[in-house]
Chains A and B, each alone.
Chain A
Amino acid sequence: MGKDIYVVIEQRKGRVQKVGLELLGEAQRLAADLGQQVVAVLMGHNVAQKAQGLVHSGADRVILVDDPMLETYVTEPYARALTAVIEKFDPEILLFGATSIGRDLAPRVAARVHTGLTADCTALEIDPEEKLLLMTRPAFGGNLMATIVCRDYRPQMATVRPGVMKRLEPDAARTGAVEKLEVAFTPADMNVKVQQVCQHEGKAVDITAAKVLVAGGRGVGGPDGYAPLHALAAELSGEVAATRIGVDSGWIEKDRQVGQTGKTVRPQLYMACGVSGALQHVAGMEESDFIIAINRDENAPIMAMADLAVVGDLNTMVPKLTRAIQQHKAQKAQD
């Protein structure tokens, strides 16, 4: 059987993605239950200088695979590198961020080494008796939670949604070894050709980093309905979020979607305007510190879970609220 909890650290252009750090924090918690170590797997090209930061964020050791083949993410070279890590070190558990990279790489590798993989987990625990990893995830569009185990194969593999786990405060006093692994790539490993890499224009909105989110649901009625929400969000130094209906209808960009097929957020304040509270949406925002709902329908599910539920029409309430906040701020500035 395997040993230690390995975390695949996702980096893009040499920048470590925060989900990897969140997973190091979670892995530390699980490792304490297992009496094992946390190992970060850092793959890329010219990324060695990132290893120390991983130790500070919870890695007891770092395995570094540094090669020009890993400059840009391509499935096969990364799958080959990670398979080499698994074959050499025999991890007990292997965790990935459930990003568009993690969800591409993890299934490929799980099939290659013949083990189980659980997607998009929202909770991980160690079973106290069998010491198995209990992987819990939403299913049926967030209607049901399922706990899944991988009893007979190793590593036990899971992808975990960004924003769900908590990272540790970096501790510069932490120390850990960095071990370099050479992988014998062949040119045939580059089995597709990346012709072009295009960054999205403008600055991508990162709703997962916002402290305040003003979310609009079906009740906004159309693409123009988000303008008052933007004004309110600006007043609260927050961002606008959306539900699936707005994104699927083409009213607003996909970056802002919260829920099972969107992002998981846990802001200080989530203000749900004209959002019914479908379970697939709630799955992405229920961990918010404080939830205010404004909805005409007092029986909408969101009203039963909001910390403050206001029965009313967002089209008149939101502009009034924006003005009231401006006045409140002006008043405070005078006091």
Chain B
Amino acid sequence: MKIAVCIKQVPDTTEVRLDPKTNTLIRDGVPSIINPDDKAALEAALRIKDGAGASVTAICMGPPQADVALREALAMGCDNAILLSAREFGGSDTYATATILAAALKKGDYDLIIAGRQAIDGDTAQVGPQVAERLGIPQISYAEEIRAEADGVVVKRQYEDCYHLIEAKFPCLVTVLAEAVQPRHMTVRGTVEAYAADIPVLGFEDLKDGLNPDWIGLKGSPTNVVKSFAKQLKGQGIRLAGLSEDEAVNTIVQKLDELCII
């Protein structure tokens, strides 16, 4: 069984702060991590490898320094890693990103493609389904569990009010939730080997047979960001400090009474 896992390197958004003067993101010193849902996707693939046996290839599109994410994937136990990196790919929205990923995935003839449901920097959840559409294969998103069988998978698919057990034959694409599985740690030996590994880089020239240049990068993206801005927070209300607890409690009760809540 051949499995590909699509991963993204993201800034740890829990560490991102706004510069109060310029209202821009302070990204200096913010660590880059494997997107949490994608790390769960790696774990899900490696569990299939541990069980039924499979070769697992991690694929990441990003700048050259995104190889760090791929090295971490190798250190977790992936067999291969591929970096998709080219100037032509820069500025891609989800449609363009999916177009590029699909072109690379087509070369590999994978049975199963696993991706994280969504990335914490963009939160769109769109790339997985759009890759599946570009490849013309079924998708199952929001997976809590994946069970591999000889010719397909059975997936526990989460909805707000229920779950479905869905069976799909290979080839298919599954997107998984970070809470689905706890990712394993890198092994020491794996880490040493991963940092020495040569990670192949596929650029535009390598993929251009399967890639329409008008459909990728900033210019090929159907959506464009026209404005970004810091959110206007609500102004300061009443602040109670230095009161005794009983005084503070009384003030809250009076306010709840005023608001007709009690």
Taking beta carbons and an 8 Å cutoff, which residues of A are in contact with B? 12, 72-76, 79, 99-101, 103-104, 106-108, 110-112, 114-120, 134, 138-153, 191-200, 204, 212, 235-236, 247-248, 254, 260-261, 268-269, 278-280, 282-283, 286, 290-292, 298, 303-312, 316-317, 320-321, 324-325, 328-329, 332
Report whether A192 and B138 are in contact in the complex, using a CB–CB cutoff of 8 Å: yes
Q: Mark B242-262, 1 if CB is under 8 A from A, else 0.
A: 100110111111011101011
Contact A144 to B231, CB < 8 A, known contacts A104-B129, A192-B138, A204-B160: yes
Q: In the complex, what residues of A have CB within 8 A of residue B141's CB?
A: 75, 100, 103-104
B256–A325 touching, CB < 8 Å = yes
Distance of A73 Cα from B159 Cα, bound (Å): 10
Known: A75-B138, A261-B123. A116 touches B93 (CB 8 A): yes
Known contacts: A119-B123, A145-B231, A308-B240. The answer to whether A195 contacts B249 by CB under 8 A is: no
What total count of A-B pairs have CB within 8 Å? Answer: 255
Residue in B93, B122, B126, B233 whose CB lies within 8 Å of A304? B233
Q: Which residue of B lies closest to A102 (CB)?
A: B125
Which of chain A's residues have a CB closer than 8 A to the CB of B132?
108
A-B contact pairs, 21 of them (CB 8 A): A110-B126, A111-B95, A114-B95, A114-B222, A116-B223, A117-B223, A119-B126, A145-B228, A147-B228, A149-B224, A151-B224, A193-B166, A195-B164, A197-B163, A198-B162, A236-B256, A282-B233, A298-B241, A303-B239, A305-B235, A328-B262
B158 at the interface (CB under 8 A from A): yes
Bound CA span A131–B81, Å: 45
B261 touches A236 (CB 8 A): yes
Q: Kindly list chain B residues whose C-beta atoms are within 8 Å of the C-beta of A195.
A: 154, 164-167
List the 10 closest pairs (A to B, CB-CB), nearest first.
Answer: A116-B222, A141-B13, A116-B223, A307-B237, A111-B133, A107-B126, A119-B124, A107-B129, A111-B130, A311-B241
Q: Which residues of B contact A (CB under 8 A)?
A: 11, 13-14, 16-18, 25, 93-95, 98, 120-130, 132-134, 138-142, 154, 158-168, 172, 179, 215, 221-231, 233-242, 245-246, 248-253, 255-257, 259, 261-262
Q: What is the bound-complex CA distance between A101 and B121, given in angstroms?
A: 21
A269 and B229 within 8 A (CB) = no
A145 close to B222 (CB less than 8 A): no
Whether A117 contacts B123 by the Cβ 8 Å rule is no
Contacts of B18 in A (CB 8 A): 143-144, 279
Assuming the contacts A268-B259, A282-B233, A291-B237, asked whether A148 and B223 have C-beta atoms less than 8 A apart, the reply is yes
Q: Within the assembled complex, what's the spacing in Å between the Cα atoms of A311 and B127?
A: 44
Flag if A304 contacts B236 (CB, 8 Å): yes
Distance of A314 from chain B, by nearest CB (Å): 11
Interface centre among B228, B229, B249, B251, by most chain A C-beta atoms within 10 angstroms, is: B249
Tell me the bound Cα distance from A282 to B18 in angstroms.
14
Shortest beta-carbon distance from A86 to chain B in Å: 14
Are A316 and B229 in contact (CB-based, < 8 A)? no
A153–B240 Cα distance when bound, in Å, is 53
Residue contact A141 to B120, C-beta cutoff 8 Å: yes
Q: Which of B120, B130, B225, B228 contacts A110 (CB 8 A)?
A: B130
B230 and A144 within 8 A (CB):
yes
With known contacts A147-B228, A286-B234, A204–B138 Cβ distance under 8 A: no
The reply to whether A317 and B130 form a contact with Cβ atoms under 8 Å apart is: no
* Beta-carbon contact of A115 and B161 below 8 Å: no
* A321:B237 contact, CB within 8 angstroms: no
